[in-house]
Amino acid sequence: MAKGLERAKELYENRGLRASELKDKGKKVMGYICCFPPIELITAADMVPFRITGSQEPITEADAYLETLMCPFVRSCFDQGIKNRYSFVDGIIWPHTCDNVEKTYDVWKRYVPHSFYYYLDVPHMADPSSFEFFTGQLEALKSALEKFAECEISEQKLVEAINIHNQNRNLLRQLSEFRKQDPPLISGSEMTQVMVASTTIPADECNQMLREIIEEVEGRNDGPEKKAARLLVYGCEIDDVGFIKLVEQSGANVVIDDLCLGTREYWKDIPTEGSPIRNLADHYLGDIKCPRTFLRATGTRQDDLDNRFGHIRDFAKDYNANAAILYIIQYCDTFEFDAPDVRDYLEQSGIRVLHLEDDYVMSNVGGIETRIQAFLEVISNV
Amino acid sequence: MYRGEGKFKTSARHWTETTKKVRGMLKDQYAGAHTTDKPVVWSMLAMINELYMAMDVYPLYPENYAGLCATKRVADPFLERAQADGFSDVCCTYAQTGLGYAAMCQDIGQIPDFAPDGGMAKPMMLVGSSLVCDTRFKWFQSFARYLDVPYYAFDMPIPRSMRPDTAMGYLNYTVEQMRGLVEFMERVLGKKMNWDKLDEIVTRTQKTYECWYEAFITSASAIPCPMPAEDTLTNFAPAFFMTGSEEALNFYQELLEEVKGKIERKEGVVPEEKYRLIWGSGLPPWHTMNVFNSVEERGAVFVYQCAYQPFAPMEIPGITDPLMRMLLGRGLPASRRLAREMPTEEFSLVDMSSPAFFIEPFKADGIVISMLRSCRGTSIGQTYLKRKIQEQAKVPVLILETDICDVHAHSEANVAARFDAFFETLESRKKAGAS
Ligand code: SF4
Ligand code: SF4
C-alpha cells in the first residue's frame, strides 16, 4: 500500500477506494456533505465517515433534476450521486448549511438510493438558544445513528472519538506549520489532496497517514520552489487541486487558506471536558467560521469585521502571505454577500486581494489564468 | 400583444376595486416614514410586523421597495451600484437593489431623485431573519457598509416533521429568537414592550388572516374566477407589510366582500374560462407584470399564485404567549388546511411548496413556474417539482426563466414563444380529453 503523500494522492484520485474496501469487510459507510455534521458521532458509532465531494467531470445527469442557477458544487455532488458513484455509501447526513444544500436534500433523498437519510438542522444564528436547539438536534442525530448502526454511542465512546479527531486536527495543524517556511515544504495543491483524502478514511487510519506525511515532508528536498508571491486562498468548497495548481503554476505559492476543506475544518479542537454532545454543538456552530453562520455585531463596525474576518488577516500575517485570492463559487450566496467586506477588510490590513467568481469547474480557465497573472504582476511590483 | 392602456405599460391591469387601493396605501407608507416621529426600522419580511406596531416603530420593507423599483423600471442603477461594490450579479436582486439604494444615498448624501415614492426614509435599526432564504440575513448584514445602525437577525427554521416533539423544539427556539428581537428593540429604543397591546394586535391579525385566507381561497375555487393572480400578487401586501393594523383588517374585509359579490354575480376575469392556471412556485417578474394579463386574451386565467399565499391561522386553546400565538397564526400553509392533515413523518420542504396540491381544489389545467436567476430561496427544487407534477398529476408545467428585478434576465420574445407552445399543449390536451 502506498504511504504518506503518495497514499493521499491515491485516495484523492479514487475517493471511494478505502471506504469501499471497508464496506466489503462489513463496515457501514456514513456519507456527509459540508463541514457541519459532527463526524465524531459517526466514528463513535463505529462507522466510516465519508465526505461527499463533487467532481471536475462535466455535469451530465443533474440538469434533469437541479437548476443551473444554483451552487455548482452541490450540483456536481448530486451528479455524482445520480451516477451511482456513491453506491458504497450506506447513509447520508445532510446538514442545513445553506439554501443550496438544504433544498438539495429533498431531491437527493428521492433519487439517490441509500439506506439511511438524515437531515440535520444547523441554526444560522449562534445565540444561547441556538446552541441549545442545536444540542437537541445532535441528540436526535445520535439516537438515529445508534439505531442505524445498532450500537450504543456511550459518552466514553464519544469522548474517545472526539480525541481521535482532535489528533487529526492537531496533525493537520502540524503539517500546516511547514507552510510557514519559504519556500513552504508542502504545496497548496498537496495540502488540498491531503485534506480530501483525510475525509475518505477512518480517523485512526487518517492519523497514521498524516504522521507519515509529516515525517516525509519534514525531511524532503523535493518540495515547492521559492516563488515571488506567497498567497492565502479564501473561499468555500475547493475539493479539486485544479485552481490551486493554476495559481502555483502562475508563479505563487499558496501557503495558507480559509477554506471548507482547509483550516476551517481543523483549526480548533473540541474540548473533552463536560458534555460531549454540547461540546460538539459548541464547536460546529461556534468555532467554524463560515458566512452561513451569523455572528452578531457587538461594538463598532471595525469590531464586527475583526470578529468575522480577523482570523483571515491573522493567517496571512502568521504565514507571511503578501496577498489573497477570494475564490467564490458562483451562486454561493453567503460567500457572495461577504466577499466585498472580506476584500475591503484585508485590503485595509495591507493585504492585496483578487476577488474571483467561478463556476467550480473553471469553464473559463483562460480568463481566470489571465486575471491571476495580472494580479501576480501587480503584487510583485509593489 | 400586451394589454397596455394608452401608453406602453408593463404593470398589470387589476380586476378588483379593492386591489387598486394598495398602491396608494404603500405610497402613504413610504411617504409617512419621512415625517413620522416614530423610529424607522428596515425589516425583512418575517411576519413580525405586530412587534413593530406594539413598540411604536415605523417599518419599511426594502424587498417591497425593490419590487416597486422594478415595477417602475428604475432598478438598474441600483443593481449597477451594488455590483460596482463587488456584489455578484447573481445575488438576489432585491438585495442588490436595496444595497445599491443605500450606497447611492451615502454617495450623494441624499435620496436619489429617481427613487420611487420619495425613497425609503433612513432607518434607525435593521431587522433580518433566516426565514425562506440565506439572503434574508446576509443582505442586511451587508447594509453595514453604508448604514451605521444596529442590526438584529433572528432564526426561523422550518421543521421537516410535524411530530409534536420535533415541531415544539422548533417553535420554542423560534419564540426565543423572537424574544431576542424584542429585547434588542427594547435596548435600542430604551423602552419596554407593551405585551397587552401586542396581544390585542395579534388577535386583530388572526382576524385579518381569516379574511385574507377566505378571499384568496374562495376566489381561486370559484368558476369563473373573479380575482386573478395579478390581483393577489398586489393585494397580499397589506397582510405582509401592514400586519396587525386596522387598515389591513378593513382592507381584507372589504376585499372579501367584493370577492363574494363577484362570485354571486358570476363576474369572472374571463367569462368563458378555457384554461385555469396556477402561478406555481417562484416570485413574479415585477418589471413585466402584464404577462399575467397576456394570457387572458387566450381565455386563460391565473386563478391562484403560490408566491404569496395566505396563512391558515390556527389558534391552540391555552396558548397565551403572544409570540407563540403569532407564530402559530402563520405556521400552517394553505395547502395543509385544505387537506385537513399534518404530515407526521419527515416531509420534503420542496414538496411542501409544490403547486401540485392546488390542481384539484382549484380545477387547474396547467402550472407556470418562474425560475429566478437571482433567487435560490424559491428556485431550487423547481426542476424536480416540474418532473414530479408531470409524472404524477399529468398537468403541463411551464418554467419561465426570468428575475424579480433584473429586467435583462427576462426576454419578452422568449416568454411569448414559451407561452405559445404551452397553450398548444393545453389545447391538444383539451381536445384529447374531449374526444
Ligand atoms: S459552496 Fe456555498 S452554496 Fe455551495 S454548499 Fe457550500 S456554502 Fe452552500
Ligand atoms: S427568497 Fe429569493 S427573492 Fe426573496 S429575499 Fe430570498 S433570495 Fe431574495
Nearest chain B CA: its distance from A338 CA (Å): 7
Over 50: is that where the pLDDT of A140 sits? yes
**CA A263/CA A179 separation, integer angstroms:** 12
Q: Provide, for chain A, the percentages of residues in helix, strand and coil under a 3-state DSSP scheme, each rounded to the nearest 5.
A: 50, 10, 35
Q: Which residue on chain B is closest to A106 by alpha carbon?
A: B348
Query: In whole angstroms, how far apart are CA B258 and each of A115, B139, B226, B304?
Result: 53, 38, 9, 17
**CA A196/CA A184 separation, integer angstroms:** 20
Nearest chain A CA: its distance from B91 CA (Å): 6
Q: Give φ, ψ of A217 to 5 degrees.
A: -70, -40
**Residue B94 beta carbon below 6 angstroms from any ligand 2 atom:** yes
Looking at residue B341, what is its pLDDT? 67
Please report, to the nearest 10 degrees, the dihedral formed by the alpha carbons of residues B173, B179, B181, B182 taken in order.
170
Q: Quote the mean pLDDT of chain A.
A: 97
Looking at residue B393, what is its pLDDT? 78
**Residue B92 beta carbon below 6 angstroms from any ligand 2 atom:** yes
Pocket of ligand 1 (CB under 6 A): A 34, 71, 73-74, 97-98, 100-101, 236-237, 292, 329, 332, 334-335
Q: Give φ, ψ of B96 to 5 degrees.
A: -60, -40
Burial (CB count <10 Å: 0-12, 13-18, 19+), residue B360: exposed
Contacts with A340 from chain B: Cβ below 8 Å = 85-87, 142, 145
Residue closest via CA to ligand 2's atom 2 equals: B375
Looking at residue B4, what is its pLDDT? 31
The residue whose CB lies within 8 Å of the most ligand 1 atoms, and thus the one to mutate among A237, A260, A333, is A237
**CA B334/CA B341 separation, integer angstroms:** 11
Say if residues B409 and B402 touch (Cβ distance below 8 Å): yes
Burial (CB count <10 Å: 0-12, 13-18, 19+), residue B146: middle
- The residue with cell 443550496 is A100
Nearest chain A CA: its distance from B135 CA (Å): 7
Looking at residue B348, what is its pLDDT? 85
Query: In whole angstroms, how far apart are CA B104 and each of B76, B96, B99, B109, B387?
Result: 12, 12, 9, 8, 43
The residue-averaged pLDDT of A27-50 equals: 98
Question: Which atom number of ligand 1 is nearest to the Cα of residue A292?
Answer: 7
**CA B5/CA B12 separation, integer angstroms:** 10
Looking at residue B352, what is its pLDDT? 83
Query: In whole angstroms, how far apart are CA A179 and each of A12, A136, A174, A217, A318?
Result: 20, 39, 10, 10, 10
CB pairs under 8 A between A and B: 142
**Residue B353 beta carbon below 6 angstroms from any ligand 2 atom:** no
Q: Which residue on chain B is closest to A305 by alpha carbon?
A: B144
Q: Which three cell numbers stand for residue B365?
A: 389545467
Looking at residue A58, what is its pLDDT? 94
ipTM: 0.95
Question: Which atom number of ligand 1 is nearest to the Cα of residue A33?
Answer: 5
Strand, coil or helix: B368: strand
Contact call for A125 and B155, based on CB within 8 A: yes
Say if residues A375 and A356 touch (Cβ distance below 8 Å): no
**CA B224/CA B236 separation, integer angstroms:** 21
- Summarize pLDDT for A43-73 with one digit per residue, the tens: 999 999 999 999 999 999 999 999 999 999 9
Contacts with A339 from chain B: Cβ below 8 Å = 86-88
Looking at residue B353, what is its pLDDT? 85
Looking at residue A142, what is its pLDDT? 97
Helix runs in chain A, H state only: 4-13, 17-24, 39-44, 72-82, 99-111, 128-149, 155-177, 188-198, 203-218, 242-249, 263-266, 276-281, 301-318, 333-348, 365-380
Q: Over the range A314-332, which residues count as b (16 or more CB within 10 Å of their CB) and which as e?
A: ebbeebebbbbbbbbbbbb
Contact call for B145 and A341, based on CB within 8 A: yes
**CA A223/CA B422 separation, integer angstroms:** 61
- Summarize pLDDT for A287-335 with one digit per residue, the tens: 999 999 999 998 999 999 999 999 999 999 999 999 999 999 999 999 9
* Distance in Å from the first CA to the final CA of chain A: 47
Residue closest via CA to ligand 2's atom 8 equals: B92
**CA B354/CA B161 separation, integer angstroms:** 17
User: Which region, left, alpha or beta, applies to residue B157 given φ > 0 means left and ψ of -120 to 50 means alpha?
Assistant: beta
Looking at residue B6, what is its pLDDT? 36
* pLDDT values of chain B reduced to their tens digit, one per residue, 435 residues: 223 333 457 889 999 999 999 999 999 999 999 999 999 999 998 889 999 999 999 999 999 999 999 999 999 999 999 999 999 999 999 999 999 999 999 999 999 999 999 999 999 999 999 999 999 999 999 999 999 999 999 999 988 877 777 788 999 999 999 999 999 999 999 999 999 999 999 999 999 999 999 999 999 999 999 999 999 999 999 999 999 999 999 999 999 999 999 999 999 999 899 999 999 989 999 999 999 999 999 999 999 999 999 987 776 778 889 999 998 887 667 777 776 666 677 888 888 888 999 999 999 999 999 999 999 999 999 999 999 998 887 899 999 999 999 999 999 999 999 999 999 999 999 888 766
Q: Which three cell numbers stand for residue A312?
A: 483571515
Q: How far is the CA of A239 from the centre of ligand 1 (A)?
A: 12
Peptide bond into A183 cis (omega under 30): yes
Contacts with B148 from chain A: Cβ below 8 Å = 301
Q: How far is the CA of B68 from the centre of ligand 1 (A)?
A: 30
Looking at residue B302, what is its pLDDT? 98
Nearest ligand, measured from the Cα of A97: 1
Q: Which residues contact B416 (CB under 8 A, 6 or more apart)?
A: B1, B294
User: Which region, left, alpha or beta, applies to residue A202 given φ > 0 means left and ψ of -120 to 50 means alpha?
Assistant: beta
Q: Which residue on chain B is closest to A109 by alpha carbon?
A: B348
